[in-house]
């Protein structure tokens, strides 16, 4: 009996890359590959890359360097680079690292089996096109294996916003939405295999237009699926948060009270320089409307400090916006230049100023996060349990508000959704007891 070939995938970056890696593994499963957790015994190594953060490409080249020894020992080992760095660097990757056998962009990974076959034949394989065909329809259907209680589901890709700091429009392309019927079919299949919570993914997910009522319409259709208990979505742009989607936060019970809504800065001057196309005041009024629809809504955001030409006054405006919103969680970063984006050509803020501002901003966000987490003590929340904890008899899951919650109780299983009373707040999680 022929032994299956082994595939090792290393995934960088966002949840969309996690989803893409799953689908690439499924595509290669049709070619006789099974996944392995180690590159050492792999027949193919695939790096699914992200181009958002500073020196992303250099980190990929560094990672590839670690596999030179494996390639020397086993010349038949195939090495591929996928994702956004692959899209941005293309032929440069093969020029700098001749051991790479194939490079595939995020819109072409449905062609991965063809590229692997070409590489097995001794040719270099490169595909960074933006093909017209629907890659999701070209991919083999998901295998019918049992799934964990949560899953990602990509519904939208690409972005038309062209923020001055961002490479996504260049690496992922224009906004494209999957038709609602295809999303619903995939969702039902996931639920049949044990999924109870779906997170809808998109670079700009609330720009989804595959349903005639947009993302809200899709969410309402998904909510009708028996067995699907929770719905989330990420990442959104403030300009695409329409009235129906705001209303859904109040009247759709399966839509969880947690929203990631990046603003990036609180200074109107910097927001304009970023090409965000909204003001700080417009963002704050949007938050008011969302909280009017769902008063217990927990908000998450993204912040960039040290954007080109940012002054101390601009930074204070950002701190004031954070104080006004009171975030439950957030992601914050120093601005890093992305070649080819407008902001990379502008006067840069010193690294020392970036470091100082990031420390102050993160200290404020940490205080807010801890305060909101501490305020959960004494409340009853739903918890979807996902895995065993570190202690005997302990199970860990996520609350409605996406907090990690651990409970010690007999008989709990992954996939159980149970009411829990929060009794203690720790640094990064909550302790609860079954109600």
**Which residue numbers belong to the known binding site?**
14, 50, 84, 159, 163, 166
| Bridging pattern class, strands 176-177 and 156-157 | antiparallel
Closest CA to 219 of 192, 16, 234: 234
**Would you tell me how many other CB atoms lie within 10 Å of the CB of residue 393?**
12
Rounded distance between C-alpha atoms, residue 409 and residue 256, angstroms: 25
In sequence order, what DSSP letters do the residues of 274-318 get, joined into one string?
TT--S-HHHHHHHHHHHHHH-TT-EEEEEEEES-TT--HHHHHHH
Binding-site residue numbers for [4Fe-4S] cluster are 14, 50, 84, 159, 163, 166
Per-residue b/e over 258-292, b at no fewer than 16 CB within 10 Å?
bbbbbbbbbbbebbebbebeeebebbeebbeebbe
CA distance 193 to 30: 19
Question: 3-state DSSP call for residue 332?
Answer: strand
Please give the Cα distance from 161 to 143 (Å, whole number): 35
Write out the two tokens for 113: 């089996």
Closest CA to 39 of 63, 2, 70: 70
Measure the CA angle with vertex 173, ends 329 and 347; round to 5°: 65
Angle, CA of 68, 73 and 77, to the nearest 5°: 75
Separation CA 162–CA 170 (nearest Å): 9
- Contacts of 5 by beta carbon, 8 Å cutoff, 6+ apart: 31, 32, 33, 34, 43, 44
Determine the Cα–Cα distance for residues 302 and 190; give it in Å rounded to an integer. 30
| Exposed/middle/buried for residue 188 (C-beta within 10 Å: 0-12, 13-18, 19+) | middle
CA nearest to 387, candidates 367, 374, 404: 404
């Amino acid at each position: 009996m022929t032994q299956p070939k082994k595939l090792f995938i290393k995934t960088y970056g966002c949840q969309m890359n996690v989803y893409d890696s799953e689908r690439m593994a499924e595509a290669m499963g049709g070619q006789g590959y099974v996944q392995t957790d180690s590159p050492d015994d792999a027949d193919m190594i695939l790096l699914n890359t992200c181009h958002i953060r500073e020196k992303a490409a250099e980190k990929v080249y560094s990672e590839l360097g670690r596999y030179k020894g494996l390639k020397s020992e086993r010349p038949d080992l195939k090495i591929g680079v996928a994702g956004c760095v692959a899209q941005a660097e293309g032929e440069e990757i093969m020029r700098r690292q001749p051991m790479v056998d194939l490079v595939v962009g995020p819109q072409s990974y449905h062609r991965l089996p063809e590229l692997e076959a070409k590489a097995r034949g001794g040719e270099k394989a490169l595909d960074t096109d933006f093909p017209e065909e629907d890659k999701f329809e070209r991919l083999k259907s998901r295998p019918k294996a049992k799934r964990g209680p949560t899953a990602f589901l990509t519904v939208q890709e690409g972005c038309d916003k062209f923020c001055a700091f961002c490479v996504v429009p260049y690496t992922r392309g224009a906004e494209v939405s999957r038709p609602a019927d295809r999303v619903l079919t995939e969702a039902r299949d996931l639920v049949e295999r044990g999924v109870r919570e779906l997170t809808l993914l998109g670079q700009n997910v609330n720009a989804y237009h595959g349903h005639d009522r947009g993302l809200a319409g899709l969410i309402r259709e998904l909510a009708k699926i028996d067995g699907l208990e929770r719905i989330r979505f990420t990442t959104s742009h403030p300009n695409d948060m329409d009235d129906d989607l705001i209303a859904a936060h109040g009247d759709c019970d399966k839509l969880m009270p947690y929203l990631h809504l990046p603003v990036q800065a609180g200074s109107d001057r910097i927001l304009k320089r970023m090409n965000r196309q909204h003001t700080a005041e417009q963002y704050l009024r949007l938050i008011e409307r969302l909280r009017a629809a769902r008063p217990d809504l927990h908000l998450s955001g993204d912040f960039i400090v040290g954007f080109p030409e940012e002054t101390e006054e601009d930074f204070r405006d950002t701190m004031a916006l954070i104080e006004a919103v009171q975030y439950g969680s957030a992601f914050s970063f120093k601005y890093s230049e992305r070649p080819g984006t407008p902001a990379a050509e502008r006067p840069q803020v010193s690294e020392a100023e970036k470091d100082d501002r990031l420390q102050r901003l993160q200290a404020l966000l940490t205080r807010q996060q801890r305060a909101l987490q501490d305020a959960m003590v004494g409340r009853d929340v739903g918890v979807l349990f996902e895995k065993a904890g570190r202690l005997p008899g302990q199970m860990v899951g996520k609350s409605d508000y996406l907090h990690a919650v651990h409970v010690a109780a007999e008989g709990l299983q992954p996939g159980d959704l149970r009411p829990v009373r929060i009794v203690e707040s720790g640094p990064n999680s909550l302790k609860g007891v079954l109600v």
